[in-house]
Amino acid sequence: MPTTHTTHPVKASGPPTRLLLGLTGALGALLILNLAVFDDLRVDPSAGVLETFAKPQHLAGLVAVLVAAGLLAFRHRSAARVAVVVAWIEIAAFSFFHAIPFELGPSKPYWGDGMGDALQWAGLLSILAVSAAIVGVARRSALAKTAAAS
């Protein structure tokens, strides 16, 4: 009597959605902490909460992270790509506004003249690290998917 085996096709590993969702949530929390604790509201006594969070660059970053997190939560097929794009935008924006060592346009560098204290640097480096982690996780999963397909 022949034996039958039920084989399950090997599924190519997609992006680890839970990890990306966790990292995207962490990025959102860091953006809020950056505004409320690390930078804007702490160092500028004239800054109001509503005015700070309603600034176009702050609002755009927060909304982009919320959209990426929503897509990841609902497992949309483009969710990982959107999360990576948002992470790269945050890396570029924070690098331009705070990490370059000279003032250029609206940037407020944390270099020289005591402009950036330890909390501001901690916020900047945390946001850059979490954004880089999002890019790295998505890249590793894309490479694994490519390797599994070939």
DSSP 109: -
Q: What residues does each domain of the chain span? A: 17-145
Give tens-digit pLDDT for 119-135.
Answer: 889 999 999 999 999 99
In this structure, is the dihedral angle defined by the CA atoms of residues 45, 50, 52 and 53, taken in order, positive or negative?
A: positive
Mean pLDDT of the chain: 85
Would you call 8 helix, strand, or coil by DSSP? coil
pLDDT of 24 over the 50 cut: yes
Residue with tokens 């020289």: 112
Q: In 3D, which of 58, 50, 54, 67 has the Cα closest to residue 31?
A: 58
Which pTM value belongs to this model?
0.83
Structure tokens at 67: 């959209």
User: Given pLDDT bands bounded at 50, 70 and 90, which one contains residue 5?
Assistant: low
Report pLDDT for 18.
Answer: 93
Give tens-digit pLDDT for 63-122.
Answer: 999 999 999 999 999 999 999 999 999 999 999 988 888 878 888 888 776 577 888 899
Report pLDDT for 93.
Answer: 94
pLDDT of 15 over the 70 cut: no
pLDDT of 9 over the 80 cut: no
Structure tokens at 136: 């790295």
Report pLDDT for 83.
Answer: 96
